[in-house]
Amino acid sequence: MMHLNLKQPLVLPGHQSNVGGTRLAAPSSTAPAVASARRVVSTSSSSRRHAMPRISCSATEEIGLGGGVSAVTVDKALTVRATVEASPAIGQMYAARGLDDIGDLLGKTLLLELVSSELDPRTGLEKERVTGFAHKTLKEGRYEAEFQVPPSFGPVGAVLVENEHHKEIFIKEIKLTTGGDSSTAVTFDCNSWVHSKFDNPEKRIFFTVKSYLPSETPDGLEELRKKDLQTLRGDGHGERKDFERVYDYDVYNDLGDPDKNPGHQRPVLGGSEELPYPRRCRTGRPRTKMDPLTEMRNGHIYVPRDEQFSEVKQVTFGATTLRSGLHALLPALKPLLIKKELRFPHFPAIDDLYGDGLPLPPQTGFDAIRTVVPRVFKIVEDTTELFLRFEMPEMIERDRFSWFKDEEFARQTLAGINPLCIQLLTEFPITSKLDPAVYGPAESAITREIIENQMKCNLTVEEALAAKRLFILDYHDVFLPYVHKVRERPNTTLYGSRTIFFLTDLGTLIPLAIELTRPKSPTKPQWKQVFTHGPDATEAWLWKLAKAHVLSHDTGYHQLVSHWLRSHCCVEPYIIAANRQLSRLHPVYRLLHPHFRYTMEINALARESLINADGIIEDAFWPGKYAMEISAAAYGATWQFDTEALPNDLVKRGLAVRKDDGELELTIKDYPYAHDGLMVWNSIRQWAADYVKVYYKSDEAVAADPELQAFWEEVRTVGHGDKKDEPWWPVLDTRDSLVETLTTIMWVTSGHHSAVNFGQYHFGGYFPNRPTTIRKSMPVEENREEEMSKFLKQPEAVLLDMLPTQMQAITIMATLDILSSHSPDEEYMGEHAEPAWLAEPMVKAAFEKFSGRMKEIEGSIDECNNNPELRNRYGVGIVPYELLKPFSKPGVTGRGIPNSISI
């Protein structure tokens, strides 16, 4: 999206129009002509059935009294010049285009139509359009057209474009100038692809930046507004084509590929009580031969054209490297790595990945890989030898042994990459909610004596609970049903786990005890054991092994639930519903649209390369083929829209209490994620509240908005249809409820996602800190005498045996490097205003305040990170918490809050 500095045009005395659009003013005897615009779309009655919807484009405008447009009424035709800035796709730019080049020479490749937003007062029908071809100029990508606009035309409601090329073309902007005076230029900010008429005869439409509630739509736009949405919804049939812009729903039935390999069959997620799930974008691909419920995985996954990555993102950066880079890199490494032990032989070998690197054999294709994953490859000076060498993560650069320390293990639950799962312990003894007849005794093995011995502060358990000083990381019930399934996989194991933490007087956490549980089976009883950092070497090393298991549990849950499910997956239904039910003219669509940029594309790429059968997640994370099933189980058991709001989430987990005045008080004062997150949340909420008040003058206006109500009804009953009857869904019947809902969506797509994504390489780039899989069970399980003997002799070797293999580690490290990186065209919260916001003075002022608050948050976070009293973010070797600093430069920075989920 281009961001325009909207200039104030010269205002002449004259007619005040309250109809949205661009008023083209002819020169008068007293002053030069002016044009004041806002983008609106209308079609003629003869072609209304072919109206092609279009992402809103912006134009500068002069707001007159009553919100109208200042203009001059004259009696003679007005000469209007249109300038179009366009470009073909990068792959087409230097290719011979044959007929298209000839068409450009003849001046008949872009047909423009100016449409009035007023109806003809005599007939009540649309006024006749003003039409003309734009001719290509000597300047690359520029087209120009000239129109004679009749004096009765009224405000220009839209510019329609018919692309006569045989290939799609990217329209950057269209400028309308009157009387040869460039100061009167009205700019339509398009930044979108226009399909070829040979693919689809319907014209592309560019709406005004003036936002309208449905009840306030100018008469000339009402029917088009409805038709626009109908076209975007499609008819639910047929396979979608790349150039289309149709939004529809489907279940997750395309993760497996049974026709290619019967072992790649995966269950359908969504549409059932057993595996509930949000919906994704429908592609319409045919079903597989082996399984009529599974969609074929043939070719690139469809997403609507304007949801696809920009050319910048495609060429210089992005998840496309998961396809092109990793898919070339990993097979090339296998012959080399197979000659070595599966695991790393010692910890110095792991360190070598960041130092000398791993020498690579001479092979073709590495230059291309080095282009898409540049940080992974280094050339040794004065040689042509190629090495695989990773950047040292900041936490290891600051303190090489931090990953081994209990203090850092605990600190990362508050200031790491997954600070969303720590909870206040409120009940004791701890019991499972699972059926004991299936899984074994429900009582935890963590006893009162264990906790009181480990606290070492003369507190009883009851006193510690009352003082809110005991916390739990609980992965017991969510993982226990999958323990035996995961253990059937080679070189993989799993437990249900609970970890208890104690809040010290300094505001830091220390881990007290870890419980690992294996459920009963037809052949074995339940096994559970509690580990503590005991007084001797054996207990101390068992404690380290138990921590490794918990870290792998936390890593898996983070990737599958905190990251993928709660941001990427659950947001896609909001995007689909918004495009299907909210007109481009709707102010709520205009507010949310920047938060939806590229999310559908990155989700499609995830289904293609990350979460699919035998994809990166299944190959390198412990759940393997059960990964997405576990994600669905977590969705069914834990996901609620209302607790996706940060304050509600903190209260639910006992990490905050709501005081009488409605303000939150944190249970752990030095909780970096919560502290910084609430600053961001409150800033977003104020922005949403200011915005909503501009367009909705009462609660009744919210309840009476048919598009808004249809949008929210579809989110609830279709996009998240498996939870449509839950009582916690908000009802959008007041301005406050709308503000809370919009803030929640905007927070999840920005702050929440940033907190769980852009620190992945910082914390997981040294994989022993966050192992994605543990390959060996604890040596103290029954009938493991050989493992126990090895453990007593070589505990470090046992730990290395447990950690990921070389191939798994390198796969994850390269993946996290990509996923943690900001694109050069990233758009950060509060950085740029949408043209529609700038067109409304009150909204523009509200955004400027929001932008200022986000800049203030940057400074506040810096102050906190330099405060010696905040020991969870300041201290020797500690990485400052910057994941919620709003702005960043490109690359892997560990900071920055983009508007949307784009990686």
Specify the pLDDT at position 63: 27
Which range has the worst mean pLDDT, 23-27, 215-219, 577-581? 23-27
Specify the pLDDT at position 68: 34
Q: Which one is catalytic: 205, 417, 897, 903?
A: 903
Instruction: Look up the domain containing 555 and give its range.
Output: 405-561+774-804
Residue 728's CB is within 10 A of a number of other CB atoms, namely 10
| Bridge partners, residue 510, by sequence | 502
> Is 195 among the residues known to form the active site?
no
The mean pLDDT value for 176-200 works out to 83
The mean pLDDT value for 653-681 works out to 96
Indicate whether 588 belongs to any domain: no
**Strands of 804-898, DSSP E:** none
Chain segment 36-62, per-residue pLDDT in tens:
333 333 333 333 333 333 333 333 333
Chain segment 793-808, per-residue pLDDT in tens:
999 999 999 999 988 9
The mean pLDDT value for 555-584 works out to 97
Residue 187's CB is within 10 A of a number of other CB atoms, namely 24
What is the DSSP annotation of 563-628? IIIIIIIHHHHHHHHHHHHS-TT-HHHHHHGGGGTTHHHHHHHHHHHTSSTTSHHHHHSTTGGGHH
Chain segment 570-581, per-residue pLDDT in tens:
999 999 999 999
Specify the pLDDT at position 780: 97
Q: Is the pLDDT of residue 865 over 70?
A: yes
The answer to whether 149 and 130 have CB atoms below 8 angstroms apart is yes
Q: Which one is catalytic: 135, 264, 563, 675?
A: 563
Chain segment 468-505, per-residue pLDDT in tens:
999 999 999 999 999 999 999 999 999 999 999 999 99
Mean pLDDT of the chain: 86
Indicate whether 696 belongs to any domain: no
Specify the pLDDT at position 322: 52
Assign residue 174 the CATH number of its domain: 2.60.60.20
Q: Which one is catalytic: 163, 612, 648, 757?
A: 757
**Phi and psi dihedrals of 229, rounded to 5?**
-70, -35
Specify the pLDDT at position 116: 85
Domain closes at, from 213, 233, 253: 233
Q: Is the pLDDT of residue 169 over 50?
A: yes
The mean pLDDT value for 231-241 works out to 92
The mean pLDDT value for 291-298 works out to 93
Which range has the worst mean pLDDT, 138-147, 568-577, 721-730? 138-147
Domain closes at, from 203, 233, 263: 233
Indicate whether 718 belongs to any domain: no
Query: How far is the C-alpha of 226 from the C-alpha of 231, rounded, in Å?
Result: 9
Indicate whether 468 belongs to any domain: yes
Specify the pLDDT at position 438: 96
Specify the pLDDT at position 14: 30
Q: Which one is catalytic: 533, 568, 595, 720?
A: 568
Indicate whether 115 belongs to any domain: yes
Q: Is the pLDDT of residue 535 over 70?
A: yes
Q: Which structure tokens are listed for 16?
A: 């005040």
Chain segment 743-795, per-residue pLDDT in tens:
999 999 999 999 999 999 999 999 999 999 999 999 999 999 999 999 999 99
The pLDDT confidence band at residue 403, using thresholds 50, 70 and 90, is very high
Indicate whether 431 belongs to any domain: yes
> Is 553 among the residues known to form the active site?
no
Domain total in the chain: 2
Residue 842's CB is within 10 A of a number of other CB atoms, namely 13
Name residues whose C-beta falls within 8 Å of residue 878's C-beta, 6 or more positions apart in sequence. Answer: 398, 399, 402, 411, 871, 872
For residue 135, the one-letter residue type is H
The mean pLDDT value for 7-12 works out to 30
Which range has the worst mean pLDDT, 147-156, 199-208, 337-346, 750-759? 337-346
The pLDDT confidence band at residue 151, using thresholds 50, 70 and 90, is confident
Indicate whether 160 belongs to any domain: yes
> 330 vs 486, 605, 677, 694, 810, CA distance in Å?
24, 18, 37, 53, 8
Assign residue 507 the CATH number of its domain: 3.10.450.60
The pLDDT confidence band at residue 35, using thresholds 50, 70 and 90, is very low
Q: Is the pLDDT of residue 856 over 60?
A: yes
> Is 903 among the residues known to form the active site?
yes
Specify the pLDDT at position 176: 87
Domain closes at, from 207, 233, 259: 233
Indicate whether 891 belongs to any domain: no
pTM of the model: 0.89
* Residue closest to 800 by CA, chosen among 765, 768, 761, 772: 768
Query: How far is the C-alpha of 36 from the C-alpha of 185, rounded, in Å?
Result: 8
